[in-house]
Chains A and B, each alone.
Chain A
Amino acid sequence: MRFLPYFLAGLAFGFVMIKSEAASWYRIMEMFYFQSFHMFGIMMSAIATGLTGVILLKRFWHPRTLEGESIVIPQKAPGRYNYLLGGLIFGLGWGIIGLCPGPIFSLVGMGSIGALAALAGALHGTWLYGLAKNRLPH
Protein backbone atom coordinates (compact mmCIF):
# COMPACT_ATOMS: atom_id res chain seq x y z
CA MET A 1 0.00 0.00 0.00
CA ARG A 2 2.96 2.29 0.73
CA PHE A 3 3.89 2.12 -2.95
CA LEU A 4 0.42 2.74 -4.37
CA PRO A 5 0.88 6.55 -4.72
CA TYR A 6 4.11 5.98 -6.67
CA PHE A 7 2.39 3.46 -8.91
CA LEU A 8 -0.48 5.86 -9.66
CA ALA A 9 1.92 8.76 -10.29
CA GLY A 10 3.92 6.54 -12.68
CA LEU A 11 0.71 5.46 -14.40
CA ALA A 12 -0.28 9.10 -14.97
CA PHE A 13 3.22 9.95 -16.18
CA GLY A 14 3.35 7.06 -18.67
CA PHE A 15 -0.14 7.93 -19.92
CA VAL A 16 0.79 11.59 -20.48
CA MET A 17 4.07 10.64 -22.25
CA ILE A 18 1.98 8.96 -24.95
CA LYS A 19 -0.95 11.41 -25.03
CA SER A 20 1.41 14.41 -25.26
CA GLU A 21 3.20 12.68 -28.17
CA ALA A 22 6.50 13.44 -26.38
CA ALA A 23 7.17 9.75 -26.98
CA SER A 24 6.93 10.27 -30.74
CA TRP A 25 10.14 10.18 -32.74
CA TYR A 26 8.49 12.56 -35.25
CA ARG A 27 7.75 15.13 -32.52
CA ILE A 28 11.34 15.04 -31.25
CA MET A 29 12.78 15.62 -34.73
CA GLU A 30 10.23 18.39 -35.31
CA MET A 31 11.48 19.95 -32.06
CA PHE A 32 15.17 19.78 -32.99
CA TYR A 33 14.34 21.47 -36.31
CA PHE A 34 12.17 24.15 -34.62
CA GLN A 35 9.27 23.25 -36.91
CA SER A 36 6.52 23.30 -34.30
CA PHE A 37 5.80 24.90 -30.95
CA HIS A 38 4.33 21.65 -29.55
CA MET A 39 7.35 20.24 -27.65
CA PHE A 40 8.57 23.67 -26.54
CA GLY A 41 5.08 24.42 -25.23
CA ILE A 42 5.14 21.16 -23.25
CA MET A 43 8.58 21.89 -21.78
CA MET A 44 7.87 25.50 -20.88
CA SER A 45 4.42 24.90 -19.39
CA ALA A 46 5.77 21.88 -17.46
CA ILE A 47 8.58 23.94 -15.94
CA ALA A 48 6.21 26.82 -15.14
CA THR A 49 3.76 24.43 -13.47
CA GLY A 50 6.53 22.64 -11.54
CA LEU A 51 7.94 25.96 -10.34
CA THR A 52 4.53 27.28 -9.26
CA GLY A 53 3.62 23.98 -7.63
CA VAL A 54 6.83 23.81 -5.62
CA ILE A 55 6.44 27.44 -4.46
CA LEU A 56 2.83 26.78 -3.39
CA LEU A 57 3.95 23.64 -1.57
CA LYS A 58 6.86 25.32 0.25
CA ARG A 59 5.55 28.83 0.94
CA PHE A 60 1.80 28.61 1.33
CA TRP A 61 0.44 25.15 1.88
CA HIS A 62 3.48 23.51 3.52
CA PRO A 63 1.91 20.13 4.15
CA ARG A 64 3.61 17.02 5.49
CA THR A 65 4.46 14.32 2.97
CA LEU A 66 2.24 11.22 2.93
CA GLU A 67 4.90 9.62 5.13
CA GLY A 68 4.61 12.46 7.63
CA GLU A 69 7.88 14.30 6.97
CA SER A 70 8.23 18.00 6.24
CA ILE A 71 8.93 18.85 2.60
CA VAL A 72 12.60 19.10 1.61
CA ILE A 73 13.62 19.52 -2.03
CA PRO A 74 16.33 16.96 -2.92
CA GLN A 75 19.43 18.79 -4.22
CA LYS A 76 21.56 17.66 -7.18
CA ALA A 77 25.10 16.62 -6.27
CA PRO A 78 27.84 19.19 -7.02
CA GLY A 79 29.64 18.77 -10.34
CA ARG A 80 30.15 20.41 -13.70
CA TYR A 81 31.66 18.25 -16.44
CA ASN A 82 29.48 15.26 -15.67
CA TYR A 83 26.32 17.31 -16.18
CA LEU A 84 27.51 18.93 -19.38
CA LEU A 85 29.23 15.91 -20.96
CA GLY A 86 26.63 13.41 -19.77
CA GLY A 87 23.88 15.64 -21.13
CA LEU A 88 25.75 15.94 -24.41
CA ILE A 89 26.11 12.15 -24.81
CA PHE A 90 22.47 11.57 -23.87
CA GLY A 91 21.45 14.30 -26.33
CA LEU A 92 23.41 12.64 -29.14
CA GLY A 93 21.39 9.48 -28.60
CA TRP A 94 18.11 11.39 -28.21
CA GLY A 95 18.61 13.15 -31.56
CA ILE A 96 18.86 9.76 -33.29
CA ILE A 97 16.36 7.45 -31.61
CA GLY A 98 14.00 10.27 -30.56
CA LEU A 99 13.41 8.67 -27.17
CA CYS A 100 14.41 9.74 -23.70
CA PRO A 101 14.02 7.33 -20.75
CA GLY A 102 10.41 8.27 -19.84
CA PRO A 103 9.07 7.47 -23.31
CA ILE A 104 11.24 4.33 -23.47
CA PHE A 105 9.36 2.89 -20.48
CA SER A 106 5.91 3.90 -21.71
CA LEU A 107 6.55 2.67 -25.28
CA VAL A 108 7.74 -0.69 -23.92
CA GLY A 109 4.28 -0.88 -22.33
CA MET A 110 2.78 -0.18 -25.74
CA GLY A 111 4.67 -3.21 -27.06
CA SER A 112 7.07 -1.31 -29.31
CA ILE A 113 9.92 -3.60 -30.32
CA GLY A 114 12.12 -0.60 -31.23
CA ALA A 115 11.68 0.84 -27.73
CA LEU A 116 12.58 -2.54 -26.25
CA ALA A 117 15.84 -2.49 -28.23
CA ALA A 118 16.45 1.06 -26.97
CA LEU A 119 15.82 -0.10 -23.39
CA ALA A 120 18.31 -2.96 -23.84
CA GLY A 121 20.83 -0.46 -25.22
CA ALA A 122 20.19 2.00 -22.39
CA LEU A 123 20.80 -0.73 -19.79
CA HIS A 124 24.09 -1.61 -21.48
CA GLY A 125 25.04 2.08 -21.65
CA THR A 126 24.23 2.52 -17.96
CA TRP A 127 26.39 -0.49 -17.12
CA LEU A 128 29.25 0.86 -19.26
CA TYR A 129 29.06 4.14 -17.37
CA GLY A 130 29.29 2.26 -14.07
CA LEU A 131 32.40 0.53 -15.39
CA ALA A 132 34.07 3.73 -16.66
CA LYS A 133 32.87 6.08 -13.89
CA ASN A 134 36.19 6.49 -12.05
CA ARG A 135 38.08 7.36 -15.22
CA LEU A 136 35.68 10.13 -16.32
CA PRO A 137 35.81 13.83 -15.37
CA HIS A 138 33.00 14.83 -13.02
Chain B
Amino acid sequence: MNTLLAWLHAPWPWYVSGPLIGAMVPLMLWIGNRSFGISNNLRHLCAIVQPRAVGVDFFQYNWREHSWSLVFAGGAVLGGFLAGVVFANPQPIQLSIDALTMFSYWNVPIGGGFLPPVLFDFNWLSLLVMFGGGILVGFGTRYASGCTSGHAITGLSTLQPQSLLAVLGIFAGGLFSAHVITPHLFSIFW
Protein backbone atom coordinates (compact mmCIF):
# COMPACT_ATOMS: atom_id res chain seq x y z
CA MET B 1 0.00 0.00 0.00
CA ASN B 2 2.74 2.41 0.99
CA THR B 3 4.76 1.55 -2.10
CA LEU B 4 1.71 2.19 -4.27
CA LEU B 5 1.15 5.58 -2.62
CA ALA B 6 4.81 6.51 -2.96
CA TRP B 7 4.64 5.54 -6.63
CA LEU B 8 1.51 7.67 -7.19
CA HIS B 9 3.23 10.68 -5.63
CA ALA B 10 6.55 10.29 -7.46
CA PRO B 11 7.10 11.53 -11.02
CA TRP B 12 7.17 8.66 -13.54
CA PRO B 13 10.21 7.89 -15.71
CA TRP B 14 9.94 8.31 -19.48
CA TYR B 15 9.70 4.56 -20.11
CA VAL B 16 6.52 4.42 -18.00
CA SER B 17 4.83 7.65 -19.08
CA GLY B 18 5.76 7.46 -22.79
CA PRO B 19 4.10 4.05 -23.41
CA LEU B 20 1.03 5.15 -21.39
CA ILE B 21 0.66 8.23 -23.62
CA GLY B 22 1.18 6.12 -26.75
CA ALA B 23 -1.44 3.61 -25.58
CA MET B 24 -4.01 6.42 -25.90
CA VAL B 25 -3.91 6.00 -29.71
CA PRO B 26 -5.20 2.38 -29.89
CA LEU B 27 -7.38 3.03 -26.83
CA MET B 28 -9.30 5.89 -28.46
CA LEU B 29 -9.67 3.85 -31.66
CA TRP B 30 -11.04 0.95 -29.69
CA ILE B 31 -13.45 3.11 -27.69
CA GLY B 32 -15.06 4.64 -30.75
CA ASN B 33 -12.79 5.12 -33.79
CA ARG B 34 -11.57 8.43 -32.40
CA SER B 35 -8.32 10.10 -33.20
CA PHE B 36 -6.46 10.79 -29.94
CA GLY B 37 -5.97 14.55 -29.53
CA ILE B 38 -7.11 17.41 -27.36
CA SER B 39 -6.72 20.78 -29.13
CA ASN B 40 -9.99 20.46 -31.09
CA ASN B 41 -11.68 21.25 -27.79
CA LEU B 42 -10.43 24.83 -28.10
CA ARG B 43 -12.56 25.08 -31.24
CA HIS B 44 -15.55 23.44 -29.56
CA LEU B 45 -15.30 25.85 -26.61
CA CYS B 46 -15.32 28.78 -29.07
CA ALA B 47 -18.32 27.25 -30.84
CA ILE B 48 -20.17 26.94 -27.53
CA VAL B 49 -19.70 30.58 -26.52
CA GLN B 50 -19.87 32.30 -29.91
CA PRO B 51 -23.10 34.29 -30.13
CA ARG B 52 -25.06 33.64 -33.31
CA ALA B 53 -24.77 37.31 -34.30
CA VAL B 54 -20.93 37.13 -34.50
CA GLY B 55 -21.18 34.33 -37.00
CA VAL B 56 -17.59 33.25 -37.82
CA ASP B 57 -18.52 30.19 -39.86
CA PHE B 58 -15.56 28.09 -38.58
CA PHE B 59 -17.46 27.93 -35.29
CA GLN B 60 -20.92 27.27 -36.71
CA TYR B 61 -21.44 23.54 -36.42
CA ASN B 62 -23.14 21.24 -34.01
CA TRP B 63 -20.54 21.00 -31.24
CA ARG B 64 -22.77 18.52 -29.39
CA GLU B 65 -21.59 15.87 -31.87
CA HIS B 66 -18.15 16.35 -30.30
CA SER B 67 -19.30 15.99 -26.70
CA TRP B 68 -17.07 12.92 -26.31
CA SER B 69 -14.05 15.16 -26.92
CA LEU B 70 -15.15 17.74 -24.37
CA VAL B 71 -15.71 14.90 -21.88
CA PHE B 72 -12.16 13.68 -22.60
CA ALA B 73 -10.81 17.19 -21.87
CA GLY B 74 -12.88 17.34 -18.68
CA GLY B 75 -11.26 14.08 -17.64
CA ALA B 76 -7.83 15.55 -18.37
CA VAL B 77 -8.61 18.52 -16.09
CA LEU B 78 -9.61 16.19 -13.26
CA GLY B 79 -6.57 13.98 -13.96
CA GLY B 80 -4.38 17.06 -13.58
CA PHE B 81 -6.01 17.84 -10.26
CA LEU B 82 -5.46 14.29 -9.02
CA ALA B 83 -1.84 14.06 -10.19
CA GLY B 84 -0.83 17.60 -9.29
CA VAL B 85 -2.77 18.25 -6.07
CA VAL B 86 -4.00 14.99 -4.50
CA PHE B 87 -0.90 12.98 -5.47
CA ALA B 88 1.49 15.93 -5.73
CA ASN B 89 5.20 15.21 -5.91
CA PRO B 90 6.72 16.45 -2.62
CA GLN B 91 10.25 16.57 -4.10
CA PRO B 92 11.68 19.33 -6.30
CA ILE B 93 11.91 18.44 -10.00
CA GLN B 94 15.05 16.45 -10.97
CA LEU B 95 16.46 18.38 -13.93
CA SER B 96 19.78 17.80 -15.65
CA ILE B 97 22.77 19.80 -14.37
CA ASP B 98 22.97 21.58 -17.74
CA ALA B 99 19.36 22.74 -17.46
CA LEU B 100 19.79 23.90 -13.85
CA THR B 101 22.88 25.90 -14.84
CA MET B 102 21.00 27.44 -17.74
CA PHE B 103 18.01 28.46 -15.61
CA SER B 104 20.21 30.15 -13.03
CA TYR B 105 21.97 31.96 -15.88
CA TRP B 106 18.53 33.05 -17.17
CA ASN B 107 17.70 34.32 -13.70
CA VAL B 108 14.78 31.90 -13.36
CA PRO B 109 14.62 30.68 -9.75
CA ILE B 110 13.47 27.05 -9.35
CA GLY B 111 10.52 26.95 -6.95
CA GLY B 112 9.05 23.96 -5.12
CA GLY B 113 6.83 22.68 -7.93
CA PHE B 114 7.56 21.98 -11.55
CA LEU B 115 6.53 25.38 -12.91
CA PRO B 116 8.68 28.52 -12.60
CA PRO B 117 6.88 30.95 -10.24
CA VAL B 118 8.12 33.91 -12.29
CA LEU B 119 5.89 32.85 -15.20
CA PHE B 120 3.11 30.91 -13.53
CA ASP B 121 2.27 32.83 -10.36
CA PHE B 122 -0.15 35.71 -10.21
CA ASN B 123 1.53 38.79 -11.69
CA TRP B 124 0.12 40.90 -14.52
CA LEU B 125 3.29 40.73 -16.60
CA SER B 126 3.42 36.92 -16.37
CA LEU B 127 -0.27 36.62 -17.20
CA LEU B 128 0.32 38.80 -20.25
CA VAL B 129 3.23 36.61 -21.44
CA MET B 130 1.22 33.42 -20.86
CA PHE B 131 -1.80 34.91 -22.63
CA GLY B 132 0.31 36.05 -25.60
CA GLY B 133 2.04 32.67 -25.90
CA GLY B 134 -1.37 31.04 -25.57
CA ILE B 135 -2.62 33.00 -28.59
CA LEU B 136 0.21 31.51 -30.70
CA VAL B 137 -0.55 28.01 -29.37
CA GLY B 138 -4.28 28.35 -30.08
CA PHE B 139 -3.85 29.91 -33.51
CA GLY B 140 -1.14 27.47 -34.59
CA THR B 141 -2.81 24.28 -33.37
CA ARG B 142 -6.03 25.09 -35.20
CA TYR B 143 -4.17 26.18 -38.35
CA ALA B 144 -2.32 22.85 -38.25
CA SER B 145 -5.47 20.96 -37.15
CA GLY B 146 -3.70 19.41 -34.20
CA CYS B 147 -1.10 19.69 -31.47
CA THR B 148 1.57 17.44 -30.00
CA SER B 149 -0.91 14.67 -29.17
CA GLY B 150 -2.84 14.78 -32.46
CA HIS B 151 0.22 15.06 -34.72
CA ALA B 152 3.41 13.94 -32.94
CA ILE B 153 1.74 10.99 -31.18
CA THR B 154 -1.39 9.99 -33.17
CA GLY B 155 -0.29 11.21 -36.60
CA LEU B 156 3.21 9.74 -36.50
CA SER B 157 2.13 6.43 -34.98
CA THR B 158 -0.48 6.02 -37.74
CA LEU B 159 2.14 7.03 -40.35
CA GLN B 160 0.42 10.15 -41.72
CA PRO B 161 2.75 12.41 -43.77
CA GLN B 162 0.78 15.59 -42.94
CA SER B 163 1.61 15.05 -39.28
CA LEU B 164 5.31 14.78 -40.08
CA LEU B 165 5.11 18.24 -41.69
CA ALA B 166 3.32 19.58 -38.62
CA VAL B 167 5.90 18.05 -36.26
CA LEU B 168 8.77 19.55 -38.27
CA GLY B 169 7.05 22.95 -38.04
CA ILE B 170 6.38 22.58 -34.33
CA PHE B 171 9.95 21.64 -33.52
CA ALA B 172 11.44 24.37 -35.72
CA GLY B 173 9.21 27.02 -34.14
CA GLY B 174 9.96 25.80 -30.64
CA LEU B 175 13.71 25.71 -31.21
CA PHE B 176 13.60 29.25 -32.54
CA SER B 177 11.62 30.83 -29.73
CA ALA B 178 13.29 28.80 -26.96
CA HIS B 179 16.72 29.94 -28.18
CA VAL B 180 16.03 33.44 -29.51
CA ILE B 181 13.10 34.80 -27.46
CA THR B 182 12.73 32.99 -24.13
CA PRO B 183 16.28 33.57 -22.71
CA HIS B 184 15.77 37.34 -23.07
CA LEU B 185 12.24 37.31 -21.77
CA PHE B 186 13.22 37.32 -18.13
CA SER B 187 15.05 40.63 -18.26
CA ILE B 188 11.62 42.32 -18.45
CA PHE B 189 10.69 40.85 -15.06
CA TRP B 190 13.71 41.86 -12.99
With A50-B153, A93-B137, A113-B122 as given contacts, are A87 and B82 in contact (CB-CB < 8 Å)? Answer: no
Residues of B within 8 Å of A3, CB to CB, are: 67-68, 71
With A14-B78, A121-B132, A126-B46 as given contacts, are A36 and B17 in contact (CB-CB < 8 Å)? Answer: no
Overall SS of chain B's interface: helix
Q: CB distance A46 to B169 under 8 Å?
A: no
Q: CB distance B122 to A84 under 8 Å?
A: no
With both beta carbons as reference points, the residue of chain B lying nearest to A57 in the complex is identified as B26
CA of A67 to CA of B28, assembled, Å? 12
Q: CB distance A46 to B22 under 8 Å?
A: yes
Q: CB distance B98 to A33 under 8 Å?
A: yes
Give a binary string over B1-39; 1 marks a CB under 8 Å from any A CB, 0 the rest: 000000000011011011111111111111111110011
Q: CB distance A102 to B168 under 8 Å?
A: no
Q: CB distance B115 to A25 under 8 Å?
A: yes
Q: CB distance A109 to B77 under 8 Å?
A: yes
CA of A120 to CA of B129, assembled, Å? 12
With both beta carbons as reference points, the residue of chain A lying nearest to B19 in the complex is identified as A49
Residues of A within 8 Å of B96, CB to CB, are: 30, 35-36
Q: Return the contact of A65 from the options B29, B80, B136 (Cβ within 8 A).
A: B29
With A45-B22, A125-B134 as given contacts, are A10 and B71 in contact (CB-CB < 8 Å)? Answer: yes
B179 at the interface (CB under 8 A from A): yes
Q: CB distance A96 to B26 under 8 Å?
A: no
CA of A30 to CA of B160, assembled, Å? 28
CA of A112 to CA of B126, assembled, Å? 12
With A10-B76, A87-B168, A95-B175 as given contacts, are A53 and B156 in contact (CB-CB < 8 Å)? Answer: no
With both beta carbons as reference points, the residue of chain A lying nearest to B27 in the complex is identified as A9
B189 at the interface (CB under 8 A from A): no
Q: Return the contact of A83 from the options B110, B127, B145 (Cβ within 8 A).
A: B145
CA of A17 to CA of B85, assembled, Å? 13
Q: CB distance A50 to B114 under 8 Å?
A: no
With A11-B78, A13-B75 as given contacts, are A24 and B114 in contact (CB-CB < 8 Å)? Answer: yes
Q: Return the contact of B75 from the options A10, A57, A119 (Cβ within 8 A).
A: A10
CA of A69 to CA of B95, assembled, Å? 45
Residues of A within 8 Å of B72, CB to CB, are: 6-7, 9-10, 13
Q: Return the contact of A24 from the options B115, B142, B172 (Cβ within 8 A).
A: B115
Q: CB distance A66 to B31 under 8 Å?
A: yes
With A13-B79, A14-B79, A85-B169 as given contacts, are A102 and B14 in contact (CB-CB < 8 Å)? Answer: no
Q: Return the contact of A14 from the options B11, B76, B128, B172 (Cβ within 8 A).
A: B76
Residues of A within 8 Å of B135, CB to CB, are: 93, 121-122, 124-125, 128
Give a binary string over B45-69; 1 marks a CB under 8 Å from any A CB, 0 the rest: 1100010000011110000000111
- Most chain A CB atoms below 10 A, which of B32, B34, B149, B172: B32
Interface residues of chain A, those whose CB is within 8 Å of chain B, are 3, 5-30, 32-33, 35-39, 41-51, 53-54, 56-57, 63, 65-67, 69, 71-80, 82-102, 104-115, 117-131, 133, 136
A89-B139, A106-B80, A118-B130 given; 6 more Cβ-contact pairs under 8 Å: A16-B79, A19-B83, A20-B20, A49-B25, A91-B174, A94-B148
